[in-house]
Structure 1
């Protein structure tokens, strides 16, 4: 029995010595287009969630409530996808400092004060500008980005948010004047 145990131990030790050294994945470049896109898009989407959360209880039209719900649902899903992709790719948790289309704090504060058509007009203008910023970020990424999954994400974002902008512009023309 002792000989068998010794033989098994010898085989295990020999096999362990033959094992490959652990592979260390390359450290992602925090200044890469991939890291910058994810680092900018996540907080950009988070602000969209802040804006969509304002719509309920403000006397907004059913059309505005519907597009806000759609945007909210899409942005939550996309944040999860981007965070998961960043984790899988080992992208650093950096956040871009300049993100196109972000609403100014003054605009967000003004939206919090408004109700009815005034709220609706400012919200639509703000969200259209916000989406246009995301489109610019996606186009910039497509010009320089390398990750195939992020490139497909950027292409889908371009189509989806362009359609939402069209819907929001239509809604804006149907708001009653002051």
Structure 2
């Protein structure tokens, strides 16, 4: 039976989401995880707070906010996947990590090109929706780090792979939340196409990781 593993977070995701969104502006886009069986997943600070993600309303700055949220989020996934390439003991996890690095690095480059082309007057700093004030505001370095959600997965030991699976499942589920929001609000066909690709690929990877977790660890 898999025991609880505690990941050492860099910055809890919810710490910056509350001031950015405002308590009244949180969108419940994912169900609560309070019914989740005790696993490594339950110990993650991000686990109970993915449902608070909010990119704000549709409008001329919506796609900018999406790009500014998804770029650091993808960068965090790449960091975690590169860590897995160094530490995993399973060929299946290594293959998944390689696919994540390849796909998300390409998407990061594309999103950065779009930002430069579509928003030449935008501030250099990334921006996020501020629900309390009803407009976009620059992210702090701490907020960007929290958006990355790249948890410290710990040493290459016998419990590394379940920690990676739990961390990446949460990470992918957050990306799926944002992709679904984009499909409702984006005004750009390119961004909608990217969101559809993220939704399809990361949902499939979440399902695969959950299947491995059940097969290998009974969770």
Using the size of structure 1 for normalisation, the TM-score is 0.71
Distance change (3 Å), C-alpha of 1:31 and 1:125: farther
CA positional deviation for 1:119? 0.8
Q: 1:170: which partner in 2? A: 211
Aligned with residue 69 of structure 1, among 98, 121, 130: 98
Structure 1 Cα separation of the partners of residues 114 and 76 of structure 2: 20
Pairing 1:103–2:132 present: no
Pairing 1:134–2:183 present: no
Structure 2 Cα separation of the partners of residues 161 and 74 of structure 1: 11
Q: Which has the higher helix share?
A: 1
Q: 2:118: which partner in 1? A: 89
Q: 1:37: which partner in 2? A: 66
Pairing 1:112–2:141 present: no
CA positional deviation for 1:112? 2.6
Please give the per-residue CA displacement for 1:92-122, whole angstroms capped at 9, x wherever unaligned.
Answer: 3424357998537xxx23x133423x11101
Structure 1 Cα separation of the partners of residues 213 and 64 of structure 2: 35
| Count of residues in correspondence between the two structures | 143
- Point out where structure 1 has 5 or more consecutive residues left out of the alignment: 1-29
Q: Which has the larger radius of gyration?
A: 1
Please give the per-residue CA displacement for 1:112-135, whole angstroms capped at 9, x wherever unaligned.
Answer: 33423x111011011011000000
CA positional deviation for 1:146? 0.8
CA positional deviation for 1:140? 1.3
Pairing 1:148–2:194 present: no
Using the size of structure 2 for normalisation, the TM-score is 0.59
Structure 2 Cα separation of the partners of residues 67 and 143 of structure 1: 29
RMSD of aligned alpha carbons: 2.5
Structure 2 Cα separation of the partners of residues 65 and 37 of structure 1: 29
